[in-house]
Amino acid sequence: MNKIKCIIVDDEPLAIEVLKSHISKVDSLELVGSCADAIEAFDFLTKNEVDLMFLDIHMPEMKGTDLVKTLQKPPAVVFTTAHREYAIESYDLNVLDYLLKPISFERFLQSVEKYKSQNLVSNEVRVIQNTGSGTTIYLREKNVIHKIPVSEIEYVESFGDYLKVHTPEREINSRYTMAAIEKALPEKSFIRIHRSFLVAINRITSFSPVMVVVGTKQFPIGVSYREKTLQSLDYNSFLNK
């Protein structure tokens, strides 16, 4: 089994040493980097493959929450902080976990196990490429395997560890994470507009800075997803005409 590649991003030497110690006790983890600030971490992430990031929030120059917002495809993120007040913002950013300092080894392990369970689910999303009929994904719903042409998917919504995949003909409820389905679907055809919604771009019938419409359904655009969503939909070019 491949090890989970981790980095620590924190400006406190003591906090770094605590996390290093915790990571060293877990055989499935591999520490591949340690950064003293978010800017250094951004540079590291553009050059290295990372699965899991233990990220402090309150740092000089750039906060950890701002780092997550700047990354196109961030690794799984566990916020490590002494400040409870960032919990709501971290929820909107769809991070894996939120650990309050001082971090006990037991609580650290819970985050690691959460990452493992989500990625075991992710591995079950099968994608089949077929040049004749397009891409097809296979999703498990209890003991039934659903074969779904990607071109038929209108939108996906999440409910905790479950997803509901909507097509014109059916709704499939499966135990997958949003990150798993987002990775499986073509990036140019689908856009994450909210922590709970992923929509097919060609199914969008209208949109504004705060919502998109798919058929008769309206979906909110999350604050942290707004800039990327409007950029993908080329919203500003319509305003300038």
- Superfamily of domain 4-122, CATH level 4: Response regulator (3.40.50.2300)
Give 166-189 pLDDT, tens digit per residue.
Answer: 999 999 988 777 877 888 888 889
Mean of pLDDT values over 37-45: 96
Residues 6+ apart with CB under 8 A from 163: 156, 157, 173, 174, 175, 176, 177, 178, 181
Degrees, nearest 5: CA angle 102-107-112: 120
- Superfamily of domain 126-239, CATH level 4: LytTr DNA-binding domain (2.40.50.1020)
According to the model, what pLDDT value does residue 117 have? 74
Asked if the model's pLDDT at residue 231 lies above 80, the reply is yes
Asked if the model's pLDDT at residue 201 lies above 90, the reply is yes
Whose CA is closest to 186, among 173, 170, 202? 202
According to the model, what pLDDT value does residue 208 have? 92
Max avg pLDDT among 51-55, 62-66, 185-189:
51-55
According to the model, what pLDDT value does residue 123 have? 45
Are 155 and 203 within 8 A, CB to CB? yes
**Cα–chain center distance at 68:** 10
According to the model, what pLDDT value does residue 126 have? 62
What percent helix, strand, coil does the chain show, rounded to 5? 35, 30, 35
Asked if the model's pLDDT at residue 132 lies above 70, the reply is no
Mean of pLDDT values over 130-141: 72
Are 50 and 136 within 8 A, CB to CB? no
Give 67-81 pLDDT, tens digit per residue.
Answer: 998 988 788 899 998
Mean of pLDDT values over 45-49: 91
pLDDT band at 131 (very low <50, low <70, confident <90, very high): very low
Give 147-165 pLDDT, tens digit per residue.
Answer: 899 999 999 998 766 789 9
Domain ranges of the chain: 4-122, 126-239
Residues 6+ apart with CB under 8 A from 172: 139, 141, 146, 148, 164, 165
